[in-house]
Structure 1
Amino acid sequence: MNEKAQKLLVAMDEKLWLRMLVLLLPGLVLGKVAGQFPGVILGVVGTVSLVVGMAAFLMWPRLRSLLLGPDQIDEESGDDALQGEHQGIEPAGVEPRAGMETAKLMAELLELFGGSGAQLVDAIQMELDVNARLSYAEAVEMAHRRKRIQSARS
């Protein structure tokens, strides 16, 4: 495969905005042009290109493995391209927390919420929703910090 095409594929793997731009922009532009000039053919072409671009965007790991072949993907990026992005990637410099430390933080967090376990679970879930890469212990710590700051302000 051409060296520039390989660089584009790698850049599309690393940057979500570039992948969206390359795969979805042609369909959006054709759709906008179809709105300016009434015509059935241009509207159909715009819609089809947008649907194809969306399908390619959603199936990007599989499409990339078809374009490069499994042997080149294993050499370049291991199994990450086949498993999807951001799965199994741990933040740099994160050390595992002791279970006793997490239990202590949870007990303090429960006290900060006035004994409401539902609010405690909601706070931890909110931290995980904000940053899906956090471990459970990190989410407990972040929820504890956030609630402590909120309590200090009140």
Structure 2
Amino acid sequence: MSENSAVFKIGELAKKVGSTVETLRFYETKGLLQSHSRSAAGYRLYNDSHLTQLSFILQAKKVGFSLKEIKYLLGLNLAKEAHTCEEVKTYTGEKIAEIDAKIRDLQSIRGSLHQMYEACCGGTEKATHCSILHTLAASDLSTELGARQ
């Protein structure tokens, strides 16, 4: 660490980025973050570069990257000279495609739930005749929902 570089204990670093000590320790176990050194008392010590790296991790997490994906992106970020912008864009495009697929799946699930919701009378009688419960109990949900369309 340079003499001008700030030094943080793990709690201080966590507070600076709005995270928790447990989260930072978890990131360490996953190989995403490593303390620079330890104090004489055994405290993990971090510097400004760790703050930057942690901000990168949290931002990548916020936009939907998994920890495994973040580890890969950190590698690209730490070795920018060895990689191209095309690589990063391709990787990000693959993530967008994955998210689009999840959105389609969620829309399908929502459609199924909406069909069950609309088919239910919602009355005050006992649930023994509840169409939602009957549909969920059906062995083939897609057939049961398709019959109601």
TM-score (norm 1): 0.32
Q: TM-score, normalised by structure 2?
A: 0.32
Greater strand proportion:
2
Structure having the higher Rg: 2
